A and B are shown apart, each in its own frame.
Chain A
Amino acid sequence: MGLLGPDTGVLPGRISAPTQRIAIGIGKAKGVPRALWRGTGDVLRGVKEKQAVGIGRPLKPGEKIDENKLVGEVLLPSEGAVTPEQKLAGEMLGSEKSSWRGALGKAGKENQTEGNKTAVREVRQQVDGWGTQVNDDGEIERSRLDEARHTDATYKLKQIEQVLDGTYVMHVGDVVYIQVSQAIDQMGGPMADQLRSAANDHDREVMISKLLKRPEFQSSVREILQQLKDRQSPAKLQESQAKIDQADETIVASQSETKIKSTQLERAKKKLTDYEPAGKTGTDGKKYTELKQLQTTVEKLDTDLETTRSQFEQLKMEQQIAFKNQDMTNYQRITQELSQAQMKYVATEARYNNAKARLDKLEDAKRGLEQTRDEAQDALKRQQQEQAKAKTAKAKAEKKLAKEQGKQVTHETELVDALKNALSEAVPLYESKMEQAFGDRIDTALKTAQERQTTERKKAVYAALAQRYDERIKRVDRRGNVIGFERRPRQDTINSDFAELMTQDNPDEGADALLRHILQTTPELMMADPSHPGEQIPNDAEINALLSDAEFVNQTKQTAVELVILKRERTVGITGDQRVEIANASWGRELFTSNNPEVKKMLTEAGVTADPTAPEFQEQLEEAVTNREKVQDPHNPDKLVEKGSQLLEMIMMLGLFGGVAVTSTAAQEQGATPA
C-alpha cells in the first residue's frame, strides 16, 4: 500500500514534532481513519475525531512522506515519553525468576481493566455525540426525546461499566440477573443445566456473579462494545441542515430583491399613469395631455414651418423676377414680405424646437419608465422562480432531514437496545469462545496422543479422531477472507458411534465395538499413511492388526469412549438411564478412576469416597451419577430438573485423556464449579 497516495485514500497529516513517535499522516485502513507513524502502534491521544482515531501502524521500510501534502496535527507523546506498552514490555523483558509473576500480572488483568475502560469510553463518546437537531452553528443537539434515549444509553452503559469493573452488586431478580440467566436458559446446554440444577437462588446468584467476572465473559462484553463503537450512524443531519440553511439564505435574499423590484415596479407604474389616457377615473394623465398637446403643437408648427418655407421660397422667386424686371415697387414689397416671412420662420422654428425638445423629453421619460417597469416585472418573475426553486429545495432538504433524523433515531434506538442486550448477547459469545477453546484443548490432547504413537497408521487413527466429530466451517468476512473456523458437530457420526458404544449385548464390549466401528468407517486412516499410497479404506486384516496391539487398543478405545460420550453429552445429551449404563460398564468405570486430583475431589464431593478397586465404589458411583433429587426450575416453577446431573460431564472434562494438566483447565474455562 502506498502512503499518502491517491490509491489508498490516505489523507495527509502534519508532522508534530518533537515526538518520540512521529505522526506522519492520517489515513484510512478498512474504512477507519488511522494515524500512521514511525514506531509501534499506540492509541492516539488528543486527536480530533475527524483527524484521526485509532491505532496506526509503523512505517514500512522505504515509505516516505510527501511533506507538501501534510496538514492537520496529530498529538503524540512528547520526546522521551514512554508509552504504557513500552513500559510494560521493558518490565517483562527485564523480569527475573522472582519478578515474572508481577510483570505478567500487570500485562493480564490490569491491562484487561484498561481495555474495558477504553471500550466503555469509546461507546460513551459515540453516545455523547447523539442528537437529531442541528443548531445554528451546525452542531448536533439533542431534543427532549433524544435526551431520553441518551439517558437510557448512558444508564445502561454505566451498568455495563460496573459489571466490567466488578463494582456491580447483583441480586437475584434484578435486571442483570434476569438478562444473563434468561440468556443462559435460552442457550441451553451444560451451563443452563447447571443453572437450573443449582440448589437455590443464592447458588444461582453466585454462579452468575462468577460468570460476570470471568475474563472471557468480560472479553465477550468488550467485543460487543467494540462492535457498537464501530457501528456509526448513517444519518447525515448536518448535510441536510446545511442544504436547508442554504435554501433559506436564497429565499431571504430573493425576498429582499423582490421587495426592491416591487417598489421599483410600483413607482414606475404610478408614474406611467401620468402618461396614460383617461381610464375609469375619467381624467387623462397630465403628462398624457401634455404629450398630446405637444404632439399637436409640434405637428402644427411643423406644418407652419413648411408653409412659411414655401412662402419664403415663393417670395424669393418673386423677388428675383421683380429684380430681373427692374420692378422696384414689387421688389421692395416682396423684400419686405420676405423679411417678415424669414422672421416668422425663425420664430416658428424656435417654437418648434422647444416643443419638440419637450416632447422628446417626455417620450424618453415615458420609455424609461416603461423599461424600468418591464425590467422590474422580469426580475420579479425571475425572483419568483428562484424562490419557488429554493422552496422546493428546502422542502426536499427538510424531507431529507426528517428522513436523516429518522435514521438517527433508528440508529440510536438500535444502539440503546444493543446496550440493553449487551450482557445477554455476551453469554452465547462467551459460550462459543469456551466451546472453541474446549475444542482446541481436545485437539491439542489428541495431537499429543498422536505424537506418542509409534507408527504412521496409529498416528493416523488419532488424526482421524480429531476430525471425526466436528466439521470445520470456514468463517469469512465480507470480502471473502477467511477469518477463522467454526466447529459444527457431525451429529450423525456422534449418534452412530454412541449407539455402537451403548447397544452391545454385553455392555462391557461397547468400547471394543466402538473402536472397531471407528476404524471401519474412517477412510482417512489409509490416506494419512504414506506407506500405503492410494489406499483409502483399511481392510479387515489391517484393522485386526491394529486391534491386536493391546497397548494401542487400551489407550485408543478409552480416548474414543471419552470423546464420544463428551460429544454426545454436549449435543443431544445423555439420559439418566444411559448414565447408569455407563457407570456400570467396565469401560465406563475407567472414566471415573483417573489419577487426576480434580476428578478425585469431584467424586469425593459427590459422595464417591470408596477406592475404585473397592466393591462399594460402583454403588457409590451409580448413586452419584443417578442423583435424581428434583429441584424446582428457577425459570419455570412447574418444572423440576435433576440436581447434580452434570457430574459425568464435569468428570469427563477434568479427566479427559488421563487428566493431563491442560485438561484440568478446561473445566475452569467452562465455568464448572465443584458439585
Chain B
Amino acid sequence: MDLSQDHKDEIGMQLTRRLGQLLKDGILAMDEVSEVADYILANIDALQTHEHYVNFLLELNTKWPYFETTLKIEQGVDVADQDKQKAEQMAQFIKNKQLDRALSTAQTG
C-alpha cells in the first residue's frame, strides 16, 4: 500500500506528539529529542509504502525504544494474542526443561 502525503503528515503528527509527550514527561532529554526529531525528518519523506513505514518504525524503536505501541499498531499486531502465544511458547520450553530459552522468550519484546 502506497503512502499518500496526507498519510505521511498523519504519521509525522503522531510521532511529533509522542515525542512531545516524552519530552514533557522527562523521559527523553532535549539532546535525545533533538536526535530523534532529526532522524524522523531525515527519513519520513523517503517512505513510499506501508512496509517502508513499518521498517522505519522498527528502526526508530530499535534506536529509541519508546515507539513500540505505534509500531505494534502499524504491524497490526494483536498484543493480547501475542502475549498468549508467548506464554504457550514459554510453557513448551519449560516442559522441555529449557529454562534459559523460556527466560529469553519472556524477556523479548
Q: Contact: A665 with B42, CB < 8 Å?
A: yes
Q: Does more than half of chain A's interface fall in helix, strand or loop, or is it mixed?
A: helix
- Is B33 within 8 A of A111, CB to CB? yes
Cα–Cα, bound, A644→B42 (Å): 26
Contact partner of A95 (CB less than 8 A), chosen from B16, B23, B43, B96, is B16
- Say which size band chain A's interface belongs to: 35 or more
Contact digits for A69-112, partner B, Cβ 8 Å, 1 yes 0 no: 00000000000000011101111111111101101110111011
Report if A448 contacts B (CB, 8 A): yes
Decide if A104 touches B12 in the complex (CB within 8 Å).
yes
A661, B98: Cα distance in complex, Å: 38
Separation of A662 and B48 alpha carbons in the complex (Å): 11
Known: A104-B37, A219-B35. A660 touches B62 (CB 8 A): no
Q: Find B51's partner among A89, A91, A94, A660 (CB 8 Å cutoff).
A: A660
B9 in the interface (beta carbon within 8 A): yes
Partner of B38, one of A88, A100, A112, A660: A112
- Which of A89, A100, A443 has a CB less than 8 Å from the CB of B62? A443
Residues 629-675 (chain A) with a chain B CB within 8 angstroms: 660-662, 664-665, 668
Minimum Cβ distance to chain B for residue A352 (Å): 104
Task: Give chain B's interface secondary structure class.
Answer: helix
- From residue A192, how far is it (CB to closest CB) to chain B in Å? 25
B41, A101: Cβ atoms closer than 8 Å: yes
Which of A92, A105, A112, A215 is B23 in contact with, Cβ under 8 Å?
A92
Could you tell me if A95 and B59 are in contact, using CB atoms closer than 8 angstroms?
no
**Contact of B93 with A530 in the complex, beta carbons under 8 Å:** yes
Contact (Cβ within 8 A) A86 B52: no
A524 to chain B, nearest CB (A): 12
CA distance A447 to B6 in the complex (A): 28
Contacts A95-B16, A97-B6 given; does A662 touch B59 at CB 8 Å: yes
Which of B30, B52, B63 gathers the greatest number of chain A CB atoms within 10 Å? Answer: B30
0/1 per residue, B28-42, Cβ < 8 Å to A?
Answer: 011101111110111
**Which residues of A (135-157) have their CB < 8 Å from a CB of B?**
none
- Of A84, A85, A108, A534, chain B has the most CB atoms within 10 Å of the CB of A108
* A residues adjacent to B (C-beta < 8 A): 40-41, 55, 58, 84-86, 88-98, 100-101, 103-105, 107-109, 111-112, 114-115, 215, 219, 437, 440-441, 443-445, 447-448, 530, 533-534, 660-662, 664-665, 668
Q: Which residues of B contact A (CB under 8 A)?
A: 6, 9-10, 12-13, 15-17, 19-21, 23-26, 29-31, 33-38, 40-43, 46-48, 51-52, 54-56, 58-59, 62-63, 89, 92-93, 96, 98, 101
5 closest cross-chain pairs (CB), A and B = A92-B20, A661-B52, A40-B26, A108-B37, A89-B24
Sampled A-B contacts (5; CB under 8 Å): A100-B15, A443-B62, A530-B93, A533-B98, A662-B56
